[in-house]
């Protein structure tokens, strides 16, 4: 007796990642159902699991892991994760020192930066698109620079109205943006100079791409505001701050994305963490402070700073997953117990700090689709 597809989908959506990947191999019918883009969208909205990926220092992507958390499980010794090794093309060149890092994620894909630094100071950056569940990589952009030009940083943005990706490349000199370039994936052959200058963007800024725009916080006229760069129009602008919040203390304020909404994390007073969420994007009155976390709820150490706890994901029951940037460790905050505890990852080398963690929506079909 065969289950109807809609009923079978309800069964599959309750499974963790590893079990779904195994189910794809059972038979052709199951593979077709799971590989349909509709299933990935339905899984992202209805799965009881929250997915994140992590990378560790000095790993060269050998320690990229996908983790899944459910609302009611014990996280003191966590073991539900998948180790991923993306197949980035190897570059064998005795004159260069290649390195691979993650510069962003979007729609179930990771964007990988492959950097080669040569003895003559040339720097060649190659950017790849990768679905980590299938490990296959596709080269989408390349840029040639010089190691003497200063610090460079890349950002990835998705434009819903055109279903397209754009890459931003910032070149910094003395902490300020010296040059900004933009690249439309699948359209541009070369990087273009951004005409509208990123006047208030600094090298330490924590920015995120959301709703077709890049967002960051910075000083302007002695106040800290939320600035934006519209990826479609390629123009800088801004959105209103939460009401009543006129003065922030940088760098204790950052923007992030939680539960599919733009959020602002404010640790200005040093005694509590306030998390503001914009319910309707761009509407000032829709800001609301939905999470208040007191300092004494977090584990104290000699080098403890509340601003070092970056929220990565909020589980359906309100519990929160944090990345503590000083030690490079994951923490789990229990809303009921008002306590924050470190998550021990079984099988992961704890001597290597976690340098990046981000929420992730798995996509169960290959890049070819």
129 lies in some domain: yes
Counting DSSP H helices and E strands in the chain, the numbers are 4, 26
Lowest mean pLDDT among 65-69, 73-77, 123-127, 230-234: 73-77
7 lies in some domain: no
364 lies in some domain: no
310 lies in some domain: yes
Residue 273, classified by CB atoms within 10 Å of its CB into exposed (0-12), middle (13-18) or buried (19+), is buried
In three-state secondary structure terms, 308 is: helix
108 lies in some domain: yes
Q: How confident is the model at residue 1 (pLDDT cuts 50, 70, 90)?
A: very low
The DSSP output letter for 149 is: G
96 lies in some domain: yes
Record the pTM: 0.84
The parent domain of residue 326 ranges over: 48-359
List the CATH number of the domain containing 287.
2.120.10
39 lies in some domain: no
3-state SS, 131-162, equals CCCCCEEEEEEEEEEEHHHCEEEEEEEEECCC
Q: How many domains does the chain have?
A: 1
Q: State the pLDDT at residue 92.
A: 47
Residue 333's DSSP bridge partners are 320, 340
Q: Are strands 208-210 and 96-106 parallel, antiparallel or unpaired?
A: unpaired
Q: Are strands 49-56 and 64-70 parallel, antiparallel or unpaired?
A: antiparallel
Give the pLDDT mean for 11-34: 88
12 lies in some domain: no
């Amino acid at each position: 007796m065969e289950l109807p597809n809609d009923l079978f989908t309800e069964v599959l959506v309750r499974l963790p990642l590893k079990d779904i990947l195994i189910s794809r191999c059972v038979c052709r019918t199951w593979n077709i159902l799971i590989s349909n883009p509709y299933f990935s969208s339905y899984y992202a909205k209805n799965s009881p699991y929250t997915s994140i990926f992590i990378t560790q220092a000095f790993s060269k992507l050998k320690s990229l892991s996908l983790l899944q958390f459910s609302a009611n499980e014990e996280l003191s010794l966590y073991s539900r994760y998948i180790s991923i090794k993306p197949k980035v093309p190897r570059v064998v060149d005795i004159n260069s020192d290649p390195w691979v890092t993650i510069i962003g994620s979007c729609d179930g894909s990771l964007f990988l930066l492959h950097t080669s630094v040569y003895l003559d100071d040339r720097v060649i950056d190659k950017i790849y698109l990768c679905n980590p569940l299938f490990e296959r990589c596709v080269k989408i952009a390349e840029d040639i620079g010089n190691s003497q030009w200063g610090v460079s940083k890349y950002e990835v943005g998705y434009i819903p109205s055109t279903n397209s990706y754009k890459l931003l490349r910032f070149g910094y000199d003395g902490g300020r943006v010296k040059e900004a370039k933009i690249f439309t994936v699948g359209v541009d052959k070369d990087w273009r100079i951004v005409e509208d200058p990123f006047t208030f963007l600094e090298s330490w800024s924590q920015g995120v791409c959301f709703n077709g725009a890049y967002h960051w916080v910075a000083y302007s006229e002695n106040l800290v505001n939320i600035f934006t760069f519209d990826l479609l129009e390629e123009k800088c602008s801004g959105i209103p701050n939460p009401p009543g919040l006129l003065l922030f203390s940088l760098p204790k304020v950052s923007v992030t994305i939680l539960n599919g909404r733009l959020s602002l994390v404010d640790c200005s007073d040093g005694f509590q963490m306030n998390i503001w969420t914009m319910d309707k994007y761009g509407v000032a009155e829709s800001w609301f402070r939905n999470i208040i976390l007191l300092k004494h709820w977090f584990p104290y150490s000699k080098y403890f700073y509340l601003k070092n706890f970056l929220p990565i994901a909020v589980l359906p029951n309100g519990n929160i997953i944090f990345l503590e940037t000083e030690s490079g460790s994951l923490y789990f905050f229990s809303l009921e117990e008002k306590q924050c505890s470190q998550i021990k990852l079984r099988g992961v080398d704890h001597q290597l700090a976690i340098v990046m963690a981000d929420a992730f929506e798995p996509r169960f079909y290959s890049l070819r689709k």
